[in-house]
Chain A
């Protein structure tokens, strides 16, 4: 089975702290995504990557950065956490569109509270 693992499930951080959210997938997927999910707003794309060292901004990249040094790992970085970044963060991965079996798989989510 495909496994997308988010190492930190529940975090509480202080305003201004630097926060790292790590995501690892074990299926050699080219695509990796970071979303945040908030009540009434649904899932919103922060960043995605379709190859190592490649990244593209999603709909709400402000306040975030990402790193993809290895194919299996996609990290989300909050340079200076703020209370409005309190949310559930979801990592996902997939093969490239048009590839057979390009289902998108999600990690279990990381619940971040910024105080």
Chain B
């Protein structure tokens, strides 16, 4: 079983739709979580950090459920420019391997007219 698992998609949605991605992680020692966005043939870029209390950044809302070990990303009012691959990332504790980031394989989103 992969340490971080995501549905690869693709999710094809019309412009203006709301879309949600889920991600599960298996390492209970993971301490912090992120969503990254990656455009085709480009490097990943941080979209947002994920906090247990939930956090929102404009049209994007991220949530962490430690009890169930899953992370979610909600995108409201999808734009064509949101088309990309979204990577779920976990990070361990401070010492030793805690520096390690573990990536999901990504969920592909295609927003269509």
Contact = CB atoms under 8 A, between A and B. Distances in A.
A76 B13 CA distance: 40
Contacts of B105: 40-42
Given A97-B31, A97-B91, A109 B96 contact: no
Size class of the B contact interface (CB-based, 8 Å) = 20 to 34
Nearest to B104: A42
B57 interface: no
Contacts of B8: 40
Nearest to A49: B99
B32 interface: yes
Interface stretch (A14-22, A63-71, A78-86, A99-107): A99-107
A50 B91 CA distance: 14
Nearest to A30: B99
Contacts of A90: 43-44
